[in-house]
Amino acid sequence: MGITIPAISCRPHAPQVQFPPEAPMAARQQILCAQCDKAEDYCTCEKYCCICKGMEGVRLAMDGLYYCPDCREACDVPLAND
């Protein structure tokens, strides 16, 4: 019988608290409408998808353009204010 190596139980079980490298303010970055430079809540532009011109479920995306859910997913653009 050799030496039985104990399971990882000897390690402290504390989770590693590490913040992602991004600056905290990046999370609060306000995406503005590319047309009027206002946040989605204040934007009064006619909101339609920049790809298909559809108006259903259109939301402001990270690039300041409006997308319907289908096109946004197809272009892989995250929502501005998720």
Cα 25 from Cα 41, distance rounded (Å): 20
Query: Are 60 and 70 spatial neighbours (Cβ–Cβ below 8 Å)?
Result: no
SS3 69: helix
Amino acid found at 4: T
Q: Which is nearer to Zn ion, 22 or 46 (CB)?
A: 46
Q: Which is nearer to Zn ion, 61 or 71 (CB)?
A: 71
Residue 27 C-beta: closest distance to Zn ion, Å? 22
Catalog residues that contact Zn ion under the rule CB under 5 A: 33, 35-36, 43, 45, 49, 51-52, 54, 68, 71
Residue 40 C-beta: closest distance to Zn ion, Å? 8
